[in-house]
Structure 1
Amino acid sequence: MTDVDIRIILKNTLLKNYYECSNSRVVEELELPIAKARIDMAVINGYMHGFEIKSASDTLKRIPSQVEAYTKVFDYLSIVTEEKYRNKLLMMTPKWVGIIICNKDGETTLIRKALINKKKQSFFLAKLLWKDELQLLLANSGVKFNKSDRNWLLCEALAERFTVKEISELVREQLRLRANWKSC
């Protein structure tokens, strides 16, 4: 199977209800502010759940750096793959990372359930926001800043003002409601 085949299976099975839910947003190719990382699919609602697709024709070389990047922002992470990579992924990923197997019949099998990630980082969560979104959140919370401040300074200010839990909620809500952003 190809990445596209697995993506279609994912859309038609595990993610189907999220597409139909007004409180959820599914985003494909969500760019992350960490080492130019990008997750194949992300569900944003009361949590952020990333889905990384690895077809049998992919390699697993980037998995360690991808998981490291995804750990900074996602509440949950699942790797969706084929049987070929089942055992390797079980061994090379942390126990909180879910593993889902797809087959050519369009079926999915949960191998390891994704657990809550306890290592998210406020600064990197804040970096998911656009400059105007950062400024609005800071202004609404009474934090002083200069409009000419670079994004990383705004992210630091937000990270100092809120807990990881609070920033997670603010970022999820902003991403979920973003109007002029690609949605799937």
Structure 2
Amino acid sequence: MTELEIKKLLVRYFLEKYENFIVGSEFSFQFGERRADIALLDDGYLYAFEIKGARDTVSRLNYQIESYKKFFDFCFVVCEPSNLSEVRMTIPRDVGIFLVENNEIKYIRQSKQFKRHDKKVLSSALSVQKLMALAKGSNLKSKHELCEYVSKHNTLESLRKLSRDDFKAKYGVVSRLLKQETTLHLTSDDIYTITKRAPSLLKRRVP
């Protein structure tokens, strides 16, 4: 399946299982170096979903997951039957798994809750304006410098909350519109609505 097709199934699964969730596609963190295919905020917890379709390589999957653990509370890999065994062998047991089979999302394994987040990575998702406000007139302008300063002068719990609040601010309105206007038969436009990235990049994956 294409990445877009899997995303539609995954968001449909959320619509069936959750009520007050907020969802974003291609969510950027770690200074834009990493993107979660799908991110979900529910009850204050942030979930990451890395999609690995049948034609995708899993060679970098463990590295991708390790970066997710620095920012997200729960991490899942979404795969197909043909690469389920390879995914199982590649990722640690503390990472959850969902399976795409027969146009359905099936729960396979729960994710552990990750709590040892990286304060600098948490702050990297905030805008420069928000970071400058937190830096209280330090005259720093580089985002890396601002994140360094903010991470040193704020607690892990406060930065975790700020990052979740920021996610809510970015995706709250579009998620509400998605839930109000969408049936369980999602279209490509529904996914583009929650994507902070050019729709042309949502294409069929190649090995």
Residue aligning to 1:55: 53
Residues 149-183 of structure 1, C-alpha deviation per residue, up to 9 Å, x if partnerless?
21112111211122222211111112211379986
TM-score by length of 1: 0.84
Residue aligning to 1:149: 141
Structure-2 separation of matches of 1:162 and 1:183: 33
Residue aligning to 2:99: 101
Residue aligning to 1:80: 78
Residues 1-184 of structure 1: pairs in structure 2 closer than 5 A: 1-13=1-13, 15-16=14-15, 21=20, 24-33=21-30, 36-45=33-42, 46-104=44-102, 106-139=103-136, 144-146=137-139, 148-178=140-170, 184=194
> Does the CA-based 8 Å contact 2:97-2:110 persist in structure 1?
yes
Residue aligning to 2:182: none
Structure-2 separation of matches of 1:38 and 1:177: 18
Please report how far the alpha carbon of residue 62 of structure 1 lies from its aligned counterpart in structure 2 after TM superposition: 1.9
Q: Name the stretch that deviates more: 39-48 or 28-37.
A: 28-37
More helix by share: 2
SS at match of 1:56: coil
> Does the CA-based 8 Å contact 2:58-2:90 persist in structure 1?
no
Unaligned runs of 5+ in 2: 175-191, 195-207
Number of equivalenced pairs: 175
Structure-2 separation of matches of 1:158 and 1:56: 41
- Identity score, percent: 28
Q: Name the stretch that deviates more: 74-83 or 85-94.
A: 85-94
> Does the CA-based 8 Å contact 1:35-1:69 persist in structure 2?
no
Which AA in structure 1 matches 2:12?
A: N
Q: 1:123 to 1:183 in 2, by over 3 A?
A: farther
Residues 48-72 of structure 1, C-alpha deviation per residue, up to 9 Å, x if partnerless?
1111111101111220221122121
Structure-2 separation of matches of 1:165 and 1:36: 23
Q: 1:42 to 1:19 in 2, by over 3 A?
A: same
